[in-house]
Amino acid sequence: MHTSEIDLVQYAKRFFSEWKRTGKGILVCCPFHDDHDPSLYVTVDYAYCFACGKGWSPQDFTKIINGEYIPLRQPRHQNKKRHVSPSPDLVVRAHKQLMALPKKISLLEKRGIQLHIIEKFQIGYTVPPISNCSLPRFTFPTWNTKGELQTITYRQDPSIDYPDIPNENRKYLHHPGAEVIPYNIHSIYDYSWLVYTGGQIDALSLLQYNIPAVGAPGEGIFKKEWIDYFHDKKVLIWLDADDAGRKGAQKIHKMLKNSIVVDWPQGVPSKYDVNEAIRDPLFGIKEIRRILHTYYARLR
């Protein structure tokens, strides 16, 4: 059987006599460090050790179990309640880990995020080094206008069943104490106009088609101190097609003088967003461009 067809949970049960069920996978003692409290998490399509801080694709994990090679050990976390400041090092490690997990890359590609965008924006995959977090998430680093790492957003993996405990069941996490700013704000000076969207995925969906965009760190979130970022920009505000999106867009419009709210055409589903519109064969990037051109003309 090809390794891509292997259910790693069933495969691991053949080699580990002790295991316990958690979420959609199992926890076993990692063979690569002195592991008395099981820290190797295995699901049907990937394995990750919370102590080693390393993940394995199905191909690599089956080789490890069969003794075909032994990976380098990494230092174990000294404290389960992790709280680590964001660092470029963490961004690089998380990105490398995602690149080793093709099924996780596939989840992003199904959302229309192309591989070159994943690489350009260093999207990653890791367990957040934040208290009460034990399951991995997608990582979206956010850089400030000086080019410094401001924070990392950790977004839940839709293929994982997160337990109903603090932090784990929140869709988005940020580093405690780090100031949250719009996603992709570091490149704002490259644009004379841009689209203010509902999040990282929406912003990336537009950026891969060379449409300048920043992503709100939450639906309708906008702080007064961000106004200076946009003072000389024409801003098209395009949030989700629901009440929260409409109210948030109007709130932002009142704060930004040279802005306009992009209205969704009648008939789009509730909670429809830019990412869905681009992937919708009845909508698509051509319609997106037409709508943006129409609203941009009104700002001239």
Q: Domain ranges for the chain, please list them.
A: 3-65, 88-173, 185-299
Residue 213: strand, helix, or coil = strand
Q: pLDDT tens-digit profile of 40-57? A: 888 888 888 877 777 777
pLDDT at position 33 is: 67
Q: pLDDT tens-digit profile of 100-150? A: 888 899 999 999 999 999 999 999 998 888 877 878 899 999 999 999 999
State the residue for tokens 């409290």: 37
| Secondary structure letter of residue 218 according to DSSP | S
- Which position has the higher pLDDT, 83 or 277? 277
Task: Write the CB contacts of 12 (distance below 8 Å, at least 6 apart in sequence).
Answer: 19, 26, 28, 42, 47, 65
Q: pLDDT tens-digit profile of 195-254? A: 999 999 999 999 999 999 999 887 668 999 999 999 899 999 999 999 989 999 999 999
CATH fold for domain 185-299: Dna Topoisomerase Vi A Subunit; Chain: A, domain 2 (3.40.1360)
Q: How far is CA 230 from CA 106, 216, 223, 224, 227, in A?
A: 34, 13, 12, 11, 6
Distance between CA atoms of 95 and 138, rounded to whole angstroms?
9
Structural class in CATH, domain 3-65: alpha beta
Homologous superfamily, domain 88-173: DNA primase, catalytic core, N-terminal domain (3.90.980.10)
Residue 68: band (very low, low, confident or very high) from pLDDT cuts 50, 70, 90? very low
Burial (CB count within 10 angstroms: exposed 0-12, middle 13-18, buried 19+), residue 45: buried
Predicted structure pTM score: 0.73
pLDDT at position 66 is: 62
Task: Write the CB contacts of 124 (distance below 8 Å, at least 6 apart in sequence).
Answer: 91, 93, 94, 95, 96, 97, 98, 138, 139, 141
pLDDT at position 207 is: 96
Q: How far is CA 96 from CA 89, 124, 141, 201, in A?
A: 11, 7, 14, 20
Distance between CA atoms of 251 and 32, rounded to whole angstroms?
52
